[in-house]
A and B are shown apart, each in its own frame.
Chain A
């Protein structure tokens, strides 16, 4: 049989302090991202912030600079541009109603009427010898944005509670704690990545984050199940060597299960088109960090909580 890794004997638990430092930094960035979202300084997508987005497909390739010039000479300022050069598409994002053109009425209760038309008009004027196809228009009023933010918050709370209940029911306390810490760690790490790279934090990222939260447990459960199983047989072994042994025993399946999902996510990233681009990126990062955390976060937390004795003494 082919084996990615032969039977290993790595002392994972010894490296836990390095892992704690790395994970601490990752989680901290994630927490900063949440603070920034709450304060409204993060790069929120228009689905949360409200605003207008227009995606157009050009017949001939254009540069973002040309697009910006075309928009600005026609009086549209402050646009965020996103480029998909391989398909000659550009996404023009104008956040929050009423700030981009001088003549617009300052009505904040609804979406800015006609802004998307102005964008399309500006591009048609700016690129007279280029054919422009409007792929999509999204206009989101502040009220909808607010509702989507509230819904998103509830979704996060509901999934957290759901996962906590399930994990708490299936495992004894130290394991539930480890699994929970690892799950939050993974979500925070991916969110933090999107925050510091300035990528948009939107509904589709939230979907990816919740999916990661659900998936994060897959690898953790595999390790935990083996620890539990070994606990019943190897009564006298110390906790850290028991955890090490278990992780080493299931290391290949931990990596392979992640690998198959990673393959699927990479396919999405490369071929999924601009709509799923960020989603796929989040999934790739999520799978990687979930694999890392199942070894270096979840189990060490169990160890930390239980102390370096044997499990049997604990109960």
Chain B
């Protein structure tokens, strides 16, 4: 019997030591410790959730459909190149996920199907309609998400955030968690930009070009478009350049009539950096193309000499200089009306590459550092108050037995925190609520046992017999009463988002540990008391 008690106390002592070691990284002692020791220690401990340390939680939806459309457009372009090489008069146009070729002929079919064997074809009214197969559409969407994830990771790395979490979620969503970011708006802009860099030729020949106003107010943009809609040539479009008056801060928009087809895109870009224009002391972005792009750029600028070429990023014109001469060397400048900070972010997104499709921000949870601090304070206070109230009640109501239960309660909290630290679990504000509730529920186990013991004592049993049968008879009730709480906690863990998951974790670990401390811990104490001498009166 005595041996058995010793063994149980040893187990408890070991668990306490293990918990404290696991928790070390969360204490100030850890920082002052010698690095040689630290190497043998756990290094993370309990991680604070975004709601406690401040930061942003973003969910972006990748518009996979747009990626598919872009892909169809690209294929149409390649088919046209193939067809012009064969000197046929046929032309391919992309419409959504369909590529239409007019006129249809057996030779054209052969050319296209040799190059793109996976396209699904149908023929009607002398036209060939090719569609992307379901499988292909799926894989394009899949790739778009993977690529977007990679690009976003790249951008965040360059932006400089400590310990970001960037991961896929479900079907085509990307979750980004940035702890401790001070300027959430800037981070959201940086991640959400498609960064589609395009070069388009200004359509100065159309009659409409002369009719366009020099500038409009930002609010009148849509009105202008609807007014001139009819007059825009089929192969052209109107895009705007944002212009800010540096003195008044007034923003105006300048419309451009542009040829729809981009002659050159950012896919050839190899480097982008911010430079300062010494004449105006304003920042601009210098971009460099890879060798293939440099060659193409030189050809194109040669072809369009004396024309204006607009540089467009995500549908906004940045500048539209006249091509004076063939540009060799593979570099270009993007100047525009932006601040140094904006220029830096633009350079980052250009360097990190464009997103394969636009992303839509679906969820943004931003928690300021002050709320995080307030919450931690509130959490600590609540836990302490709850502990004192519950512990006091137990000690008063059950006397010595209550004190033993309180001792078990302390163990409970130490083990709970230790287990969380060992698992590197994330503590959230609802998680703190879980700990507080666990404090209230933990003593329930003891209450059930003590009441049982009281029953047994009333029946005239000796203290030792009362303790033993109290534990035995209360055991099933205790398990039954906790299992259902564990079931709902498990469900919450499965379906809950970040903070709610934190609640499920603390509550369920709390309850599981509670079974250990009350069935092993308090029982050992009672057995010890009973074994030392024949106890006549149990203080309960």
Contact = CB atoms under 8 A, between A and B. Distances in A.
Decide whether A and B assemble into one complex: yes
Interface of A: 1-2, 4, 55, 57, 87, 103, 109-111, 113, 116-117, 133-141, 143-144, 147-148, 151-152, 154-155, 158-159, 162-163, 166-167, 170, 203-204, 207, 210-211, 213-219, 221-222, 225, 249-250, 252-253, 256-257, 259-268, 270-273, 275-276, 279-280, 283
Contacts of B61: 110, 141, 143
B490 to A, nearest CB: 8
B308 interface: no
Given A57-B370, A260-B390, A225 B484 contact: no
Contacts of B390: 260, 263-264
A151 B494 CA distance: 10
Interface of B: 51, 59, 61, 170, 184-185, 219, 360-368, 370-371, 374-375, 378-379, 381-382, 385-386, 389-390, 393-394, 396-399, 429-430, 432-433, 436-437, 439-441, 443-444, 447-448, 451, 454-455, 476-477, 480-492, 494-497, 500, 503, 507, 540
15 contacts: A1-B398, A1-B454, A2-B396, A135-B367, A135-B370, A138-B365, A140-B363, A141-B363, A144-B363, A167-B484, A217-B484, A221-B481, A256-B397, A270-B385, A275-B51
A276 B503 CA distance: 12
Contacts of A279: 430, 433
Contacts of A151: 495
Contact of A137 (B170, B365, B378, B476): B365
Contact of A272 (B363, B379, B482, B485): B379
A139 B385 CA distance: 34
Given A151-B495, A218-B485, A211 B437 contact: yes
A133 B368 contact: yes
B514 to A, nearest CB: 12
Nearest to B434: A211
Contacts, number: 230
B434 to A, nearest CB: 9
Contacts of A280: 433
Given A133-B368, A133-B370, A222-B448, A214 B495 contact: no
B484 A166 contact: yes
Contact of B487 (A135, A141, A152, A163): A163
A264 B393 CA distance: 12
Contacts of A109: 360
Nearest to B389: A263
B364 A276 contact: no
B175 to A, nearest CB: 11
Contact of B492 (A155, A217, A265, A275): A155
The 10 tightest CB contacts between A and B, nearest first, are A264-B440, A273-B378, A214-B488, A214-B485, A267-B386, A261-B440, A135-B371, A141-B362, A155-B495, A162-B487
A93 B366 CA distance: 14
Contact of B397 (A2, A221, A262, A273): A2
B436 A225 contact: no
A92 B346 CA distance: 33
Interface centre among B184, B443, B486, B491 (most CB of A within 10 A): B491
A260 B365 contact: no
Contacts of A147: 170
Contacts of A260: 390, 393-394, 440-441, 443-444, 447
A135 B370 CA distance: 6
A139 B370 contact: no
A159 B487 contact: yes
A111 B363 contact: yes
Nearest to B396: A2
A140 B486 CA distance: 30
